[in-house]
Amino acid sequence: MDTISSMKIAILSDVHGNLLALQAVKADIEGWRPDLVVVAGDVVNGGPNSKACTQIVKRQQKSYNWQVLRGNHEDYVIEWAEAGPGDLLTLVELRSSRDAQNRWSQLYRERVLVGEISTKKAVKEFLSAPEFMAYLDV
């Protein structure tokens, strides 16, 4: 029998700081006892418990060899943090503004990912964008 076809593999992603969901999935995984667990990114950003979720995933990675991939939201948090704490707080608060989210996603895809500008410059440009000013009601 082929080794791969007989393996039990669990794949989880898009936790986005939802601690209760992660705990429930972790319990299911522990009960199912797969041969391999892959966390396909986006453990952080969105829910209120990104730190706790990250700690759980890191603990499972160390203790049970969970394979962890960094998702785009981990990239966003790392890059936004480089922009400075004030800008990071502002960007996190903007999650409630769909127009601002769409503008940031467009700016990030079109200018940062292709290397045209740095994330820090993109944050500064974003913070002066009309969608951001509308969010602030300026």
The whole-number pLDDT of residue 41 equals 87
Say what the pLDDT of residue 135 is.
Answer: 45
pLDDT recorded at residue 44:
84
pLDDT, one tens digit per residue, over 52-97 is 898 999 999 999 999 998 888 777 766 665 655 455 555 555 554 5
pLDDT of residue 35: 94
pLDDT tens digits, one per residue of 109-137: 666 666 666 666 766 666 666 555 554 44
Buried b (16+ CB within 10 A) or exposed e, 40-60: ebbbbbebebbeebbebbeeb
The kind and range of the H/E element at 11 are: strand 9-12
E strand or H helix at 88, and its extent? helix 85-93
Parallel, antiparallel, or unpaired: how do β-strands 9-12 and 67-68 relate?
unpaired
Which pLDDT does position 109 carry in this prediction? 64
* Residue 11 bridge partners (DSSP): 38
pLDDT value at 138 more than 50: no
**Residue with token string 């939201």:** 73
d(C-alpha 86, C-alpha 136), whole Å: 15
In angstroms, rounded to a whole number, what is the distance separating the alpha carbons of residues 91 and 133?
A: 13
By the 8 A CB rule, do 54 and 44 touch? yes
Per-residue pLDDT of 4-25, as tens digits, reads 678 899 999 999 889 999 999 9
Asked whether the predicted pLDDT for residue 36 surpasses 70, the reply is: yes
pLDDT above 70: residue 30: yes
